[in-house]
Structure 1
Amino acid sequence: MERAQDGMDGSGIETAYQEERRRRLAAERTLDHVRRELAQAHSALVANSDRLSRRYLSEREENLRLSERQQGVLAQRREAAKRADRARRRLWHALEAMRDGFAVFDASGRLVAANHVYLGLFDGASGLGPGVHAQEIFAGAAEEGAFDIGDASPEAWAHAQVARWHAEIVPPQILHHYDGRILRFQDRRAPDGDVVSLVLDVTEDRTREAALIDARDAAERTARIKADFLARMSHEIRTPMNGILGMTRMLIDEGPGGEAGLLARTIHDSADALLTIVNDTLDVSRLNADRLTLREAPFDLERLLGDCLRLAGAGARPGVAVALDCPIGLPGTVRGDAGRVRQIVMNLLGNAAKFTQVGSIVLRVARVDADPTQFAITVEDTGPGIADSDRDAVFEAFGQGDLSEDTMREGTGLGLTISRGLAERMGGTLTLQPDTGSGAIFTLVLPLPSQTAGLGPDDFPRRLALSPGGGVQADLIGRQLAAAGIAVTSDVAGAAHVLLPMALPETAQRQVLAKMTPGARLVALGPGGDAAAEVMERAGAILPPPFAWADLVSAFGAERQAGAEPDDRPRILLADDNATNRLLLDRMLKDTPYQVELAAGGAEAIAAARRARPDVAVLDISMPDVDGFEVAAALQELPGPAVPILALTAHVGAEMTTRLRNAGFAAHLTKPLCKDALLEAVAAALSPASPDSVP
């Protein structure tokens, strides 16, 4: 039993040992597993710790960088704020230093800010400051009498001031301050609705403006008084000069010889020079007073220039040739003030004739290439010329340039001043070309719109002969014909149309006749007195240059025919209270195809017209008993067709022209009266196409 017990005990111990050992091994395995898990966890923890450390370091570095930028931005903002504050202070100081008032109101009309000048304007207003409504500010100032509000109530006036701000463009407002200042409120609305108000003190400007207006009005009154005085003096001077010029002209025409003829011509030339001075002075006065009016109407430019040159030729020195250089193809008529164009051209030609001792004076006309409605009229002479240093002086009043001692000084020096003023008044220019050392060249450029077409090359013979040696005018005629495409030859043999200048000696004229083909058409160029007897018999026409191209076409188209005097001559009634003028008018119409009846006054003229109705009446306007206007009214009441009435007066000016036109006068003749002007006016009045108005 003991051994059994011992055996059982030993087996049990071994089993317990084995069990213990198994548990220990299991524990070791568990421990080893836990150790491995702990090692893995430790490794993961270490890795995670490394990641967190790196992330922290990265974020810390980024935070440091962001902090530096933020600090820079904050520093920039602080510096910008300082600069903005300095700018605001400077701006406000500038606004405070302004002499003008400045204020800003918000969109609702309440004051935001204002400088001391603006606030000072409303010094009497109570409670003035930021936040106060504009209407309260203006109403308070009105109640305190700060501004002149007229008859309006303070509330209504203040409402009107603020109501201006609602306009799309705020109109300026002029207010009168109680201290005498004149203030201009200039308001503008900003895009955000605020209103910026600027107040300017315009007292000095208004005072200066008023002074300038007063000075201008005084100058205009003075100019009007001067113009009226000159017009009256012109009338008083023209009336006796009419008799002097007319009677001396007739005395000269009677042909007294010797010393009597010399004295008569001297009297006439002196009176004519005095009349030029009167006319020039009156024109300068009108230009200065801006009272010169233009009377535009269609006229023949070519014939006007020819007439001017014809008159200038009479005043040229012996041996000085005058010529017209006019192209074929000019308009038949142009529109403009023919009288003023004539005046300018005659002034230029008169100067040329005055200073040209030898050589020629050429009047040229041509279209301006850049503008066909404008024409360039040039006067070219071979006188002493004008130095470039005197170019401006010649156009000044009373200026004549630096002339040599042997050059005669005549006139007032107003001619070119008036001519340039007239040219500019008509929209043109008058210039003096640079000194070429061979005379003076004046160029007048004027807008003269074409009214009717002129002649063309087809109106002329395709071929004609022009005898050489005819002088400047004949050479210009040949040149213009050739420029128009017409064949011009110097060989008269075989030519169907021949131009023969009368400047050739009579022997040379006869030689041309001997070479001509029988039946050829001969036109003599020049005065009939210079033609040989054989030429007078042979010529189909005699044309004294300058002539119009239409005259040459007509001369080639028909033989000359002597006009027959009409059997029933038109009757002219002349009324003038001045006996000298009546005698002058009677002598002017002597040997003309008119019957003349003289009346010594208005009443006598009316009685004569009622006895026998006149075809034309020429009435002096300033007759003492019944003036020309009353006579005209009586003539207009006569039965039958209206009687054309011509006014004869020494009065000049737009006022008189308008009055005559309204009274029904057909034309206006100015004293001193020229015979050609009288005959032209009478012929125009008798023409069926005569306009029924004063030109």
Structure 2
Amino acid sequence: MTENDRERQAKKQFISENKIVNLESVLATNQKFLQQITDNSPQILYILDVINWTNLYVNSRCINILGYTPQEFALGGSKIFYDILHPNDLELLSVNQNFWKTAKDDDILTTEYRMRHKDGFWIWLRSQDVVFVRDENNQVRQILGTAQDITEQKKIEQSLIQAKELAEAATKAKSEFLANMSHEIRTPMNGVLNMAHLLLKTNLTPSQEDIVQIIVDSGETLLVVINDILDFSKIQSGRLRLEEHPFILKDMIKSVVNLFYPEALKKQITLTYFINPDVPNHILGDRTRLQQILFNLIGNGIKFTEKGEVFIFVNSKLLSEKKYEIRISIKDTGIGIEKKHLNKLFQSFTQGDTSITRKYGGTGLGLAISKNLVTLMGGKIWVESNGSIGGNPPFKWFSDIDDDEENIQGSIFHFTFITQDASGYQLTEEISADFSPKSPEEKSNLKILVAEDYKPNQKVIDYLLTSLGYSADIVTNGLEVLEILKIQSYDVILMDMQMPEMDGITTTRLIRQSIIEQPYIIALTANVLEENRQQCLDVGMNDFISKPIIIDELEKALEKIL
């Protein structure tokens, strides 16, 4: 080898060694860079062998989050997972292992679990894993993952859940309180109102009649307030459900308007309505709730109008086949509503001007309830007013037209026993025959048992039955009902729901299970929620009358049995 060859070889070796040194320097720099990235990552980074379930690499963030060093994770092997994983999360190990058996390279596995900190408390983690290395059989061997501390997030979530549960419990408690208060108020009101009504039928002087009428009017006003509060409670708790039956829209509107004619006449107000000929006559919907909305809006118009008129206009728009948008506007020439008060109009327990409450009274719930009912019907309600011509609160909702004539006939009278095959003539004849006056002999033959623990209501029911030509035996609780049924039978039992010793629900259930001669059972209750009514029907009761008992309702209920 010549001197030149040796020089060239030395140069090559020097260059090669220089490259190696430079490469090692670059590698060291890159490694240091990557190490700094992983060590300063806010998340735990790891490489996991999913066959043996051991950690091949863990960054130092594990010390900050879990209190363990990377060496402790490495030395712990698969056992460390069983030691620090929450007992309720251990099943995730097998679930995750099964996932990686069929995972694709672009699959991401997200898992939430708890690990015990070295100091003993639990840490919530959310990990995201991807495929890192496959073996010669293309099976996933290693995964690369990150684990984020989500303990605070979980605490917030738990706080929100607890807050939601507390709010739901508070709403339920409020609804139960209102229902119980309604029962406690309705029970004595049953005695007050019915006795007052009976007193009005006696020979009274004009001044005495005025006094008794004030008692009746005040009691009925109190019941309206109670019903408003109950409806509002049901709406707030989401327990109010709309029914859907066919009915004649024109007849419903006419019936509501007729209720206000005496009051309008007394105030010398013109009360008129017009229904556009294009409005469908037979529609599907909740007649009772629609009546309630109209009652509130027309009632407001009459209340706040001292002179002039209240006018109801009904219009409709065809949206699709059999689908209509119905719009009802109630216009009055009353005191109007100032613009600054419009945003409060549909809020609960408020009126546009507090001085109005003092002058005209009211709970401030009528429009709030109406708005919620219209919303449930898929419509909306709003008001137009210039503060001097009166309010114009129109509302609209969507309805299907009902063109089934047989259904229409059955729905007019709301009797479920009438078949769809009955014609209008047969229907009228059958109903008028069914409700023709019963003879005293028919009534005296009806054996009635009254189960009622409240003494004043016992007397009220006895007076009502006597005035209708019936007589009855009276007991004070469910146990007495069962005892008396052992020695004699009854055609009908008027059953109070809340009684000492044994309530009406339990008593009815036992009667249906054990008594051979089954009586017709009518619930008498101050609980007027739909679930109470359904509960009565579910245990086998035949009918339901709410307190205060209206004599006409009692008469109709009893005449069904004759």
Displacement of 1:241 after TM fit? Answer: 0.8
Match of 1:126? Answer: 71
Secondary structure of 1:658's counterpart equals helix
Conservation of the 8 A alpha-carbon contact between 1:103 and 1:115:
yes
Match of 1:101? Answer: 44
Match of 1:236 among 170, 184, 187: 184
Q: Distance in 1 between matches of 2:133 and 2:319?
A: 51
Per-residue CA shift, 1:621-675, capped at 9, x if unaligned? Answer: 34557754536865898878x7643211112334422320112223322112234
Secondary structure of 1:434's counterpart equals coil
Q: Distance in 1 between matches of 2:337 and 2:33?
A: 64
Match of 1:649? Answer: 525
Match of 2:412? Answer: none
Match of 1:390? Answer: 341
Conservation of the 8 A alpha-carbon contact between 2:495 and 2:522:
yes
Counterpart code for 1:247? M
Structure 1 gaps, min length 5: 1-84, 456-552, 688-695
Q: Distance in 1 between matches of 2:133 and 2:263?
A: 77
Match of 1:173 among 105, 112, 120: 112
**Structure 1 94/649 Cα, relative in aligned 2: closer, same or farther at 3 Å?**
same
**Structure 1 157/294 Cα, relative in aligned 2: closer, same or farther at 3 Å?**
closer
Match of 1:488? Answer: none
Conservation of the 8 A alpha-carbon contact between 2:381 and 2:393:
yes
Conservation of the 8 A alpha-carbon contact between 2:86 and 2:113:
no
Q: Distance in 2 between matches of 1:110 and 1:632?
A: 63
Q: Which has the higher contact order (CA 8 A, sep 6+)?
A: 2
Match of 1:182? Answer: 124
Per-residue CA shift, 1:33-84, capped at 9, x if unaligned? Answer: xxxxxxxxxxxxxxxxxxxxxxxxxxxxxxxxxxxxxxxxxxxxxxxxxxxx
Displacement of 1:259 after TM fit? Answer: 3.1
Match of 1:575 among 418, 438, 450: 450
Summarize the alignment of residues 147-546 of structure 1 with structure 2, pairs less than 5 Å apart.
Answer: 147-148=84-85, 150=87, 163-166=98-101, 168=103, 170-179=109-118, 180=121, 181-189=123-131, 195-252=143-200, 254=202, 256-294=204-242, 296-316=244-264, 317-326=266-275, 330=280, 332=282, 334-336=284-286, 338-370=287-319, 372=323, 374-402=325-353, 408-424=359-375, 426-436=376-386, 437-453=388-404
Match of 1:13? Answer: none
Match of 1:660? Answer: 536
**Structure 1 105/281 Cα, relative in aligned 2: closer, same or farther at 3 Å?**
same
After TM superposition, the structure 1 stretch with the greater mean CA deviation from structure 2, 114-123 or 429-438, is 114-123
Counterpart code for 1:265? Q
Conservation of the 8 A alpha-carbon contact between 2:520 and 2:541:
yes
Conservation of the 8 A alpha-carbon contact between 1:172 and 1:186:
yes
Counterpart code for 1:246? N
TM-score, scaled to structure 1: 0.58
Displacement of 1:397 after TM fit? Answer: 1.8
Conservation of the 8 A alpha-carbon contact between 2:448 and 2:472:
yes
Displacement of 1:432 after TM fit? Answer: 1.9
Structure 2 gaps, min length 5: 1-27, 135-139, 407-423
**Structure 1 601/339 Cα, relative in aligned 2: closer, same or farther at 3 Å?**
farther
How many residues matched? Answer: 487
Conservation of the 8 A alpha-carbon contact between 1:308 and 1:345:
yes
Match of 1:117? Answer: 61
Per-residue CA shift, 1:315-362, capped at 9, x if unaligned? Answer: 4452123344345663546243x4433333322233222212223334
Counterpart code for 2:71? S
The CA RMSD measured in Å over matched residues stands at 4.8
Conservation of the 8 A alpha-carbon contact between 1:173 and 1:186:
no
**Structure 1 383/89 Cα, relative in aligned 2: closer, same or farther at 3 Å?**
farther
TM-score, scaled to structure 2: 0.70
Q: Distance in 1 between matches of 2:182 and 2:525?
A: 11
Secondary structure of 1:441's counterpart equals coil
Per-residue CA shift, 1:173-221, capped at 9, x if unaligned? Answer: 3132324322111223489988442211111011112222222222222
Match of 1:599? Answer: 473
Q: Distance in 2 between matches of 1:278 and 1:406?
A: 17
Secondary structure of 2:351's counterpart equals coil
Secondary structure of 1:442's counterpart equals coil
Conservation of the 8 A alpha-carbon contact between 1:231 and 1:651:
yes
Q: Distance in 1 between matches of 2:182 and 2:313?
A: 34
Secondary structure of 1:648's counterpart equals strand
Secondary structure of 1:400's counterpart equals coil
Q: Distance in 2 between matches of 1:207 and 1:151?
A: 18
Q: Distance in 1 between matches of 2:308 and 2:486?
A: 54
Secondary structure of 2:71's counterpart equals coil
For the pair shown, which has the larger CA radius of gyration, 1 or 2? 1
Displacement of 1:126 after TM fit? Answer: 3.3
Secondary structure of 1:395's counterpart equals coil
**Structure 1 287/157 Cα, relative in aligned 2: closer, same or farther at 3 Å?**
closer
Secondary structure of 2:393's counterpart equals strand
Conservation of the 8 A alpha-carbon contact between 1:299 and 1:335:
yes
Conservation of the 8 A alpha-carbon contact between 2:374 and 2:397:
yes
